Amino acid sequence: MKPLSFLALYLFGQSLLAADLQLDLPIRCTLGRDCFIQNYYDHDASAGWQDYACGPLAYDKHTGTDFRLKHKQQMQAGVAVLAAASGTVQAVRDSEPDISIRDRPLSAKNPKEAGNGVRIAHGDGWETQYSHLRQGSIEVRPGQRVQAGDVLGQVGLSGKTEFPHVDFTVRKNGQAVDPFGPERTACGKTEKTLWSDAARSQLAYQPTAILIAGFADRALPVPELQSGEALLSALPDSAPALVFHIEIMGVRQGDVETMRITAPDGKVMVERSAPMEKNQAVRQTYLGKRKSASNWSTGYYLGYYSLQRSGKMIAETTIKLPVSR
């Protein structure tokens, strides 16, 4: 079968949107502060990927929108997944454990890909699906009528995933649709989207965001970093090292990354600055200093991180860590 031409895809998108569905946010959080869109619908028909704004926040053949939490502690506290539009629940699954694909034994590396989830029919061929929900959190049942904004369950880590998020997928007559709009006139611009006015006010495209920033007393493996539990609120004298950790999304080739740790007396203990060699959907990095013979100095240690793109600052943070006695 020959692939559809761009004109055919454009006309197909128009026919899909002939009878519009209006969507509210499918998650109860504040975008850009405690949750982020890490992956969008892939608009690149080749083996590469491209989000609706012509950026790299997608992966090959991804047909949903991934609303992610910063870390696992948020998931454990409970973040609600909401019906984006009124409809009737068609199917649910609530039996898959919340385990990162990284942490599964080899014998369990093939979970049900979508994990726990809910599928809702909205009429006229439209449906929405909410995947990777938290085990035991689903509050609806097949055949139940729900209204926009009703709680369906909570964000989880079930299925084939490495981080807590809800994969929100929209379909029309069985075909996936980008809610940001398939009718693109230019990068980041569309003739129409499926989002409501209230949702659009929160959905400004954010190409890069710092997800986790903090200190630990050692270099943390990724699952431990993402749990948030090993990050320090104060530095004990017994700490063998001081390590500044960062997790950031949306790093691009050529970005210049700078990290440093400053002692309470203002002296720079360790610093690094280098251009990024490739695009990275999510980057974990750290910078550290071992303890000297003396105790840690009284006061605050500062961890600084920045990312510049084409000479413009696009992400920056400073973290203060007191010394406990």
Residue 1 lies in a domain: no
Q: Are residues 194 and 230 in the same domain?
A: no
DSSP 200-222: HTT------EEEEEEEESSPPPH
Q: How confident is residue 8, by pLDDT bands cut at 50, 70 and 90? A: very low
Q: Are residues 295 and 167 in the same domain?
A: no
Query: Which CATH number fits the domain that encloses residue 106?
Result: 2.70.70.10
* pLDDT value of residue 294: 82
Q: Are residues 193 and 255 in the same domain?
A: no
Span 127-137, average pLDDT = 98
DSSP 152: E
Average pLDDT value over all residues in the chain: 89
- Burial of residue 130 (CB within 10 Å: 0-12, 13-18, 19+) is buried
* Inter-residue contact 53 to 41 (CB < 8 Å): no
Q: How far is CA 276 from CA 26, 29, 114, 252, 261, in A?
A: 33, 31, 32, 7, 20
Query: Considering its fold, how many domains does the chain have in total?
Result: 2
- The domain in which residue 293 lies consists of 209-322
Say whether pLDDT at 1 is over 50.
no
Report angle CA 36, 63, 279 to the nearest 5 degrees: 55
Q: Are residues 156 and 236 in the same domain?
A: no
Span 116-129, average pLDDT = 97
First to last CA, the chain: 70
Helices assigned H by DSSP within the chain:
6-16, 72-77, 197-200, 222-227
Say whether pLDDT at 24 is over 60.
yes
Q: Are residues 180 and 138 in the same domain?
A: yes
Residue 110 lies in a domain: yes
Closest to 246 measured CA to CA, from 282, 299, 300: 282
Query: Which CATH number fits the domain that encloses residue 300?
Result: 2.60.40.2550
Which of 177, 200, 223 is the endpoint of a domain? 200
Q: Are residues 188 and 220 in the same domain?
A: no
Per-residue pLDDT reduced to its tens digit, 67-105: 999 888 899 999 999 999 999 999 999 999 998 887 776
Which of 200, 230, 265 is the endpoint of a domain? 200
Which of 164, 182, 200 is the endpoint of a domain? 200
* Inter-residue contact 121 to 127 (CB < 8 Å): yes
Q: Are residues 220 and 318 in the same domain?
A: yes
Q: Is the dihedral of CA 236, 238, 244, 245 positive or negative?
A: negative
Residue type present at position 306: S
Q: Are residues 219 and 283 in the same domain?
A: yes
Per-residue pLDDT reduced to its tens digit, 266-275: 999 999 999 9
As a whole-number percent, the residues of the chain with pLDDT over 90 amount to: 70
Per-residue pLDDT reduced to its tens digit, 150-205: 999 999 999 999 899 999 999 999 999 999 986 666 776 776 889 999 999 999 99
* Inter-residue contact 176 to 129 (CB < 8 Å): no
Q: Are residues 18 and 150 in the same domain?
A: yes
Distance CA(249)–CA(252), nearest Å, equals 9
Report angle CA 137, 202, 309 to the nearest 5 degrees: 110
Hunting for tokens 């793109």 — which residue is that? 309
Q: Are residues 224 and 153 in the same domain?
A: no
Residue 189 lies in a domain: yes
* pLDDT value of residue 324: 80
Q: How confident is residue 277, by pLDDT bands cut at 50, 70 and 90? A: very high
Could you give phi then psi for residue 270, rounded to 5 degrees? -160, 145
* pLDDT value of residue 20: 76
Hunting for tokens 């071992």 — which residue is that? 290
Q: Are residues 25 and 158 in the same domain?
A: yes
* pLDDT value of residue 265: 95
Three-state DSSP class for residue 227: helix
Q: Which residues contact 241 (CB under 8 A, 6 or more apart)?
A: 217, 218, 288, 289, 290, 291
Q: Flag the least confident range among 108-112, 141-145, 164-168.
A: 108-112
* pLDDT value of residue 101: 82
Beta strands, E only, the chain: 35-39, 65-69, 80-82, 87-93, 116-123, 126-133, 145-146, 151-154, 165-172, 175-177, 184-186, 189-190, 209-216, 241-251, 256-262, 268-275, 280-290, 300-309, 312-322
Q: Are residues 273 and 186 in the same domain?
A: no
As a whole-number percent, the residues of the chain with pLDDT over 70 amount to: 90
